[in-house]
Structure 1
Amino acid sequence: MWHDEFRVADLGVRPDYAVRANGELTGYIEFKKPSLPVDPATFSKANREQWEKLRNLPNLLYSNGTEWRLFRDGRQLGETVWFTGSLTSAGNRLVPADPAAFDALLKTFLLWKPAPISQVARLVQHVAPLCRLLRSAVLEQLAAEAKSSSPDNDIRARPFTGLKNDWRKLLFPSADDATFADGYAQAVTFALLLARSDDHLTEGASLHDVGRLLDADHALMGRALQLLTGNVNERFSVTLQLLQRTIAQVNWSAIRTGNRDAYLHLYEHFLTVYDSALRQRSGSYYTPHEVVEDMVRLTENVLRTRLGQADGFGADEVRIVDPAMGTGTYLHAIIERVAEQAADRYGPAMAPDAISRLASRLNGFELQMGPFAVAELRTSDLLKRYHSPLPEGGLSLFVTDTLDNPFVEDEYLPSTFGPLSDSRRRANNLKANIPVTVVIANPPYDDKAENHGGWVEKGSGKHEAAPLDGFRYPGNGRYEHMLKNMYVYFWRWATWKVFDAHEDDQHGVVCFITPSGWATGPGGRGMRDYLRRTCDERWVINLSPEGQRAEVATRIFPGVAQPLAICIFIRKAGAVRNEDHRARVHYRSLTGRRNEKFRQLREIGLDDGGWRETHAGAARPFTPLTQSGWEDFPALDDLFPWGSPGAKSNRSWASAPSPETLRRRWKTLIRETDPAEKGKLFKETRDRTLISKKEPLPGQSASLLPVGKEISVSPTLVRTALRSFDRQWLIADNRVLDYARPDLWASMQDGQFFLNQQSSHKIDSGPAVVATHLLPDTDHFNGRGGRSMPVLHPDGSSNTPAGLLFHLAHALGAKRVAVTELAAYIVAVAGHSAFTERFAEELLTPGVRLPLTRAPGVMESGSHSRQRNPMGLDLRRAVCRPRCGTTRWARRRPPLRMSC
């Protein structure tokens, strides 16, 4: 039987024919123009794009009428078969050059059957491409329905549009077409895999019956399969049957043999083949079992030693949630731990009972249908292994957006959606009303997650503040863009759920592994303040003391460059809290290669001697107290309090190494007569457009006309410090620079120069402070932000606290200390790698502090250090003895404490 699909032209990626043999789908045929070769290596862009979508079909015949090729999973099978003669003139004389070869080709094509699948790798290789093809088909079907002239409520004409709208109402309110198509494809694929695992799937079974059988133990996936496959046209049934035939060949028994957890890497491998970009966007990285097991172990120790639960996770009062469940790794580790402990204490016969009691208290939330189905599959298999039945009502695993509003009213949906709407109601009831003792997870990372944090980020409107506001800190707004990260949203949800949501039960523990930037950087001040005020004790395990983009061999997740930490927070019921309450924070770091870090993690105990105390200040970083006296040193921005982020143009064309280049660009812009093209050349932004009128920058002459009406082709240019070692020319025009910082321009004068430090990221190499006499760019320090401190105010006065220079002169026994002498001393001490190496641990926290000496003449010599020693080494000897590794001022006399 031939299924002609060519007539659906706007679907684009469909092969021309699908072919059945003996009632079973056997493959696809794609015909090309007679003059077009069917060798994929010769395809043009359009045909290559189609080939990339079709290449993973398991049985595909390509032909242009005279050339025939058979492909299996993108690889040609056998030789090419050629016909003799011309399609336009040969008529019945058009015959294969080798009839036997053509006959063999057709038999091979028509007699195709899916190969048995007994390994996870082969499963992924065969199933992921078909899932991707199904996703493409759904997207194209939605696009075709959008062009339909039928009424919007015509279900026969727009079946997938109606299904998408119901799906959004029920599970994913913010889902767009792409999200729905992905959810559809993964839901169907993994529901079939789950059905095959329970022996409900065969090649000939109807998908509706498969879903009904699956509904008994896996209600959500069973009903999803029925809904998603119950009203599809012939074209979709062809694709679905190919997927069904392939999955029917999966031999789960063989896959499980000798493999304790065959599903552990299944979804990670699936995503890598299915859509590696989706894997990166969703943060779907398998958490090493060494990390999971020790996070579970340490969390249970907290339950026993701090929260009075002697039975740990086995205690009937302990309810657990993984809000980013993925494939259920943390929940399964808890199940195995409880089972093993029950068997050790009371004998193997008690393990099933312990698991049954745990299952009703064990909860998981997951946004994607694929990993959710794998979690159900793994959990069912795990319970079977321990001969423990599924709990009444099924497992407490939910397809839900953890961050959505849990208090939203349920919309009415038809009874056919019963299991799905019931799952949503149960998930929201748990999120809103049921106290939780433990939240443990590896939440997703996405640093471009603004407007994706749902209720946690935005609240529920005018009458309810967003929970995320609890992580904000007064006056810290310029740094709090860092809070718009998916893992931060999950931190806030977990802390809200355990510590805030239930007034009568604010008692429990949160254990996460996440990037550690919030624990040390300025953007996390509000988080740290909240946690110190709210919690009673905290443990921080720094997994990445090597810093950003460390050597891959040292990383816990080889593909993740951000520094990571395991953090455990507890809040005890009945603890006395007042304005001075601060959680005790313990800190340690793991060093070495990956396996060495795993070994160290395995040996950690909550009360062993390897922990160090950290700062106690409300918003201070979660880093250890040091022995260097660093905390007693004045901060650079205490010595020079007025600072600025630096000038920012937001237009790369406005700066260049050559002034002639800038003049040429400006001339091209001004002489352009087409307004649309002129807008593109200018690169209009919210703050600067072709019609914007801006006052001239201080000290610069400029036209008052908007750029769109400017006629002068001679721009004003100044030399600026783009980076520490990169001087460039800049168009000094306030109409062009989005954030020109006029106060900085006003401060430019004879004798002015700027000190610059990295204020938002740690410093792990090179100088800690740089200086320039040119106007600094916002990324002047090292291309990643920073803060510039002018030595002089615009009026020529010193940018120092009142009385500081007099105090320094008195302490040093000098007649006077000039502000330039203080600045030169700072550059001499901190402007080289020796300072960074000496205070490497202290500089994990952004912001430079300066040791001040009492040695006479040092401050003055600092002002001449450029002539005497460009690296400031003489000064460093006056401050530090490299041989003994201790500082003279720390050993003999205390540093100055600046209180002015």
Structure 2
Amino acid sequence: MTLHQYITKIDRLYQTGNAREHSYRGDLQNLIMAILPDVLVTNEPARVDCGAPDYVLTRKDVPIGYIEAKDIGVDLASKTLKEQFDRYKSGLTNLVFTDYLEFHFYKEGVFTTKIEIAKIINGAIIPITENFEQFTQLIKNFSLTVTQTIKSPTKLAEMMAGKAKLMADVIEKSLNIDDQNESRTPLKNQMLSFQQMLIHDIDNKSFSDIYAQTIAYGMFAARYHDPTLPTFSRLEAAELIPKSNPFLRKLFQDIAGFDLDYRIVWIVDELVNIFLASDVAQIMKNFGKSTKQEDPVVHFYETFLGEYNPALRKARGVWYTPQPVVNFIVRAVDDILKTEFNLPQGLADTSKIKIKKTIPKFDERSKTKSKITGEQDTEIEVHKVQILDPATGTGTFLAEVVKHIYKKFEGQQGIWSKYVNNDLIPRLNGFELLMASYAMAHLKMDMLLTETGYKPTDEQRFKIFLTNSLEEAHPDSQTLFSSWLSDEADQANAVKRDTPVMVVMGNPPYSGESANKGEWIMSLMEDYKKEPGGKEKLKERNPKWINDDYVKFMRFGQHFIDKNGSGILAFINPHGFLDNPTFRGMRWSLLQSYDKIYTIDLHGNSKKKETAPDGSLDQNVFDIMQGVSINLFVKTGEKKTDDLAQVFHYDLFGKRELKYDFLSNNSIKTIDYKKLPNVAPNYFLVNKDFDIQEIYDEGFKVNEFLLSNSVGVVTAKDAILVEENYKNLIGNVERYYNINVDAQKIQKVTYRPFDNRYVYYDTKLVERSREKVMQHMLNHNNLAVVINKPAQGGPDFYTDVFVTNTIIDQSTFSAMKRSAFICPLTRWVKLIDLNFDIINWSVKYEFVDILNQC
């Protein structure tokens, strides 16, 4: 087909008035193939529906370029096309955008040139023949891809992110189409298996993000081990994934096969081309030369996520634990093992113990002895110092353990490799929920051990498992993908069930009221939801903050240390549990379990607006608002049952760098801890003036004095349901809800101190009406005391007392973290038969006489 023929054909279609974008696709396909006879130009509608550009150009099965076509006359600079075009530009290195008449060329996401071969004049498409020769040459040049060698880790991370972002979009669209067609494709089955066995509330978008990142980092790991730089393919990647990571290896064997979903083949192959231009081992050769703030692998991952999706990075909590914090915790655990457990080698210890294990019992009389007749107990020998990071993320803590131990073996490579095989890998255990982080953790361990000169002599896997730490294993759902997940869960469960874990360390996730509510962990959490002493249920109306993930992980670690009879739990986590009154049952449980507790409160709580004692700046060691603390819980098994742990506390204020330097230059033995007393009923793990508390405790609790009390009203639609002007409120409600206003439901509300407004108090419209208590303030001449109760992360003191004769808003005192509570002085009880109300004091009986005397 010539250019004249092409324009004649599309003009004929255009003149009908019925042609649409797809009407011209075949003609453009034939034109490009006529200009490039050695190139296959593919247009597959099913792929296009799933996010692929309209045309894929390949030469000998290798993608060389892409063309995205819009309808004739569409403005290619339109803002409505920006999101799609930007996605393609960031993910595809050789790209053309066209409306079939004008062609825009992009290289590495950068605009290079444009050319017009025809224009619309008086309703007809008229050729611009003087541009034909230049257009033909541009298309030929477009097909001559010159691979640019990638040498910068930042450039590689950015290019990987572009491909992965496009891949995630393609996967998400494919899954959405599967849903619309009610089709159970292999890709959809993988998503459903992941949902069933790991993250139960995951949706198509979130799975697509995780899956795309996992493929990207799997290829990264494969290319790192590739000795043949001139070649790379999906098949090579499957062969090169280290045997130390069997799950990822199996996943890539699936990706390399003929059954890979045809809708995503093209973008996976695009990712291959990125690595074909990269020497990953050379790019990452400085791995291990960490600074205080940068672990190169995690820094690479953060650069990747920053380009891929900055919001996702923040939502996932991908904030690596600073090196000085990790290093301090690892050194502290090493010191405690030496001093408290009489293990001179500390974390490098190779001693073994015997444990009982239940194994299948086979019928000795059968020929193959394969028939199981029951179970039997046996003794096996395992290493004593078993280490577990239950939220391993990208493997930072386990890698630091390796680096710490390696210092004893530098220059002894022969001994080191044998030690790693026999006495290190069998003791390092990690659990991770997200596939991408899991892949990164394996990659980090692999690269670190390679850097130290370790040479594997067998196919031993790293004991980092893709599993949910807080759940027991889920049954295999009989798909290939689920069988791989099930195998990971089974091996992780073997660690949970049989391994005598002596050290639990890490940085658990923080997530408010967590979605992890499996039966196993929630049953363990009941110990934290009791009053000190463990006999009475915790007397808190809403103890939801105890359900934070970090608290569950602390309970998880405590369970393993108690089960082992001795050990160390070493976490960095939010410091709220140290002194929040709601956590008193948790603190008592910790004091009962452990012999010694060391806490270093790193403060930095911007929610509380913390400052150093001298008034100077106090910064968090993370880029988060919650203050954090380093916590070391030691159980030797020698403490008497009724005794509580000794508590040693240290407060560290100041700028971030000061805190880093302090941790780097100190050990658990050199810090001047303050020994704290165990004081009921709150058992605070922070320094308090307990003499003042004794005076304070002589008073009485407000909720014991004023029996009827509640937090204030939350409308969730203040702009509609709250107004300063009575008439404006009526108008707002009628317009928004299209109802006739009931005047009896318009009530005064103490919105802020000395700021009374009107609220449309319809319990069906108000999000949280607190009607049980608020009814005593409606249409009655009543008074109420209003106090503020600090919420999670807010100031830990009571500052305000107020009196009102109306209902109140929850944020009466402040919109920030300080809930207002209302305590009516009297309660009104309606006697229906007599058609009038009676009044009762809302005050505990023994205080009535005192009030009557006032």
* Structure 1 and Structure 2 fold alike (TM over 0.5): yes
Q: Secondary structure at the match of 1:440?
A: strand
Work out which of the residue numbers 589, 601, 604 in structure 2 matches 1:530.
589
Work out which of the residue numbers 230, 234, 247 in structure 2 matches 1:207.
234
Q: Which residue of 2 aligns with 1:488?
A: 551
Provide Cα deviations, 1:437-479, integer angstroms capped at 9, x if missing partner: 11111112222533x3434455xxxxxxx22222212244523
Distance 2:189 2:82 in 1: 33
Provide Cα deviations, 1:226-249, integer angstroms capped at 9, x if missing partner: 123421254432211111011122
Residue 204 of structure 1: how far off its partner (Å): 4.8
Q: Secondary structure at the match of 1:514?
A: strand
Distance 2:797 2:554 in 1: 33
Q: Which residue of 2 aligns with 1:67?
A: 102
Q: Secondary structure at the match of 2:490?
A: helix
Matches within 5 A, 1:454-853: 454-458=518-522, 466-473=523-530, 474-499=537-562, 502=563, 505-544=564-603, 546-548=605-607, 550=609, 554-578=618-642, 581-607=643-669, 608-613=671-676, 615-617=678-680, 619-626=682-689, 629-634=692-697, 638=701, 641-642=705-706, 644-651=709-716, 652=718, 653-668=720-735, 672=738, 713-724=742-753, 726-732=755-761, 737=766, 738-743=768-773, 745-746=775-776, 752-761=783-792, 764=795, 768-775=799-806, 776-783=808-815, 784-786=817-819, 788=821, 790=823, 792-794=825-827, 799=843, 802=846
Matches within 5 A, 1:243-642: 243-261=271-289, 262-316=296-350, 317-343=384-410, 350-356=415-421, 357-390=423-456, 392-406=459-473, 408=474, 421-447=486-512, 449-450=514-515, 452-458=516-522, 466-473=523-530, 474-499=537-562, 502=563, 505-544=564-603, 546-548=605-607, 550=609, 554-578=618-642, 581-607=643-669, 608-613=671-676, 615-617=678-680, 619-626=682-689, 629-634=692-697, 638=701, 641-642=705-706
Q: Which residue of 2 aligns with 1:855?
A: none
Residue 105 of structure 1: how far off its partner (Å): 3.3
**Counterpart contact for 2:604–2:610, Cα < 8 Å:** no
**Counterpart contact for 2:676–2:685, Cα < 8 Å:** no
AA at the equivalent of 1:469:
E
Summarize the Cα distance change of 1:457–1:765 in structure 2 as closer, same or farther, 3 Å threshold. Answer: closer
Residue 320 of structure 1: how far off its partner (Å): 0.5
Q: Secondary structure at the match of 1:591?
A: coil
TM-score by length of 1: 0.75
Q: Which residue of 1 aligns with 2:138?
A: 105
**Counterpart contact for 1:338–1:355, Cα < 8 Å:** no
**Counterpart contact for 1:284–1:444, Cα < 8 Å:** no
Provide Cα deviations, 1:803-853, integer angstroms capped at 9, x if missing partner: 7997xxxxxxxxx9966xxxxxxxxxxxxxxxxxxxxxxxxxxxxxxxxxx
Residue 215 of structure 1: how far off its partner (Å): 5.3
Summarize the Cα distance change of 1:639–1:53 in structure 2 as closer, same or farther, 3 Å threshold. Answer: closer
Coordinate RMSD, CA, aligned:
3.5
Residue 361 of structure 1: how far off its partner (Å): 0.2
**Counterpart contact for 1:721–1:728, Cα < 8 Å:** yes
**Counterpart contact for 2:73–2:99, Cα < 8 Å:** yes
Distance 1:526 1:667 in 2: 49
**Counterpart contact for 2:65–2:143, Cα < 8 Å:** yes
Provide Cα deviations, 1:774-793, integer angstroms capped at 9, x if missing partner: 43333323233435364834
Residue 198 of structure 1: how far off its partner (Å): 0.5
Structure 2 residue runs of 5 or longer lacking an equivalent are 1-38, 290-295, 351-383, 531-536, 612-616, 828-838
Distance 1:23 1:54 in 2: 21
Q: Which residue of 2 aligns with 1:866?
A: none
Distance 1:805 1:600 in 2: 58
Higher mean displacement: 507-516 or 551-560: 551-560
**Counterpart contact for 1:267–1:327, Cα < 8 Å:** no
AA at the equivalent of 2:497:
A
Higher mean displacement: 397-406 or 102-111: 102-111
Provide Cα deviations, 1:415-445, integer angstroms capped at 9, x if missing partner: x987665433211110222120111111122
Provide Cα deviations, 1:648-698, integer angstroms capped at 9, x if missing partner: 24353332222222233455578x4xxxxx6xxxxxxxxxxxxxxxxxxxx
Summarize the Cα distance change of 1:659–1:413 in structure 2 as closer, same or farther, 3 Å threshold. Answer: closer
Provide Cα deviations, 1:275-327, integer angstroms capped at 9, x if missing partner: 22332222121111111101111122222222332221111221101111111
Residue 596 of structure 1: how far off its partner (Å): 0.6
Q: Which residue of 1 aligns with 2:260?
A: 232
2:168 maps to 1:142: no
Work out which of the residue numbers 28, 31, 43 in structure 1 matches 2:79.
43
Q: Which residue of 2 aligns with 1:868?
A: none
**Counterpart contact for 1:192–1:201, Cα < 8 Å:** no
Q: Secondary structure at the match of 1:341?
A: coil
Q: Which residue of 1 aligns with 2:377?
A: none
Distance 1:18 1:531 in 2: 61
Structure 1 residue runs of 5 or longer lacking an equivalent are 153-157, 459-465, 673-677, 679-710, 807-815, 820-900
Summarize the Cα distance change of 1:522–1:104 in structure 2 as closer, same or farther, 3 Å threshold. Answer: farther
Q: Secondary structure at the match of 1:8?
A: helix
Residue 211 of structure 1: how far off its partner (Å): 0.9
Q: Which residue of 2 aligns with 1:693?
A: none
Summarize the Cα distance change of 1:735–1:622 in structure 2 as closer, same or farther, 3 Å threshold. Answer: same
**Counterpart contact for 2:386–2:427, Cα < 8 Å:** yes
AA at the equivalent of 1:399:
L
**Counterpart contact for 1:754–1:791, Cα < 8 Å:** yes
Distance 2:155 2:446 in 1: 22
**Counterpart contact for 1:637–1:789, Cα < 8 Å:** no
Q: Secondary structure at the match of 2:67?
A: strand
Q: Which residue of 1 aligns with 2:52?
A: 14
Q: Secondary structure at the match of 1:321?
A: strand
Residue 387 of structure 1: how far off its partner (Å): 2.1
Summarize the Cα distance change of 1:38–1:433 in structure 2 as closer, same or farther, 3 Å threshold. Answer: same
Residue 562 of structure 1: how far off its partner (Å): 1.2
Distance 2:556 2:148 in 1: 46
Distance 2:847 2:237 in 1: 82
Summarize the Cα distance change of 1:546–1:483 in structure 2 as closer, same or farther, 3 Å threshold. Answer: closer
TM-score by length of 2: 0.79
Q: Secondary structure at the match of 2:218?
A: helix
Q: Secondary structure at the match of 1:326?
A: coil
Q: Which residue of 1 aligns with 2:225?
A: 198
**Counterpart contact for 2:232–2:272, Cα < 8 Å:** no
Higher strand share: 2
Q: Secondary structure at the match of 1:575?
A: coil
Residue 119 of structure 1: how far off its partner (Å): 2.1
Distance 1:360 1:487 in 2: 27
Q: Which residue of 1 aligns with 2:7?
A: none
Residue 750 of structure 1: how far off its partner (Å): 6.5
AA at the equivalent of 1:439:
V
AA at the equivalent of 1:563:
G
Q: Secondary structure at the match of 1:263?
A: helix
Distance 1:488 1:179 in 2: 25
Summarize the Cα distance change of 1:208–1:417 in structure 2 as closer, same or farther, 3 Å threshold. Answer: farther
Q: Secondary structure at the match of 1:264?
A: helix
AA at the equivalent of 1:61:
V
Q: Secondary structure at the match of 1:285?
A: coil
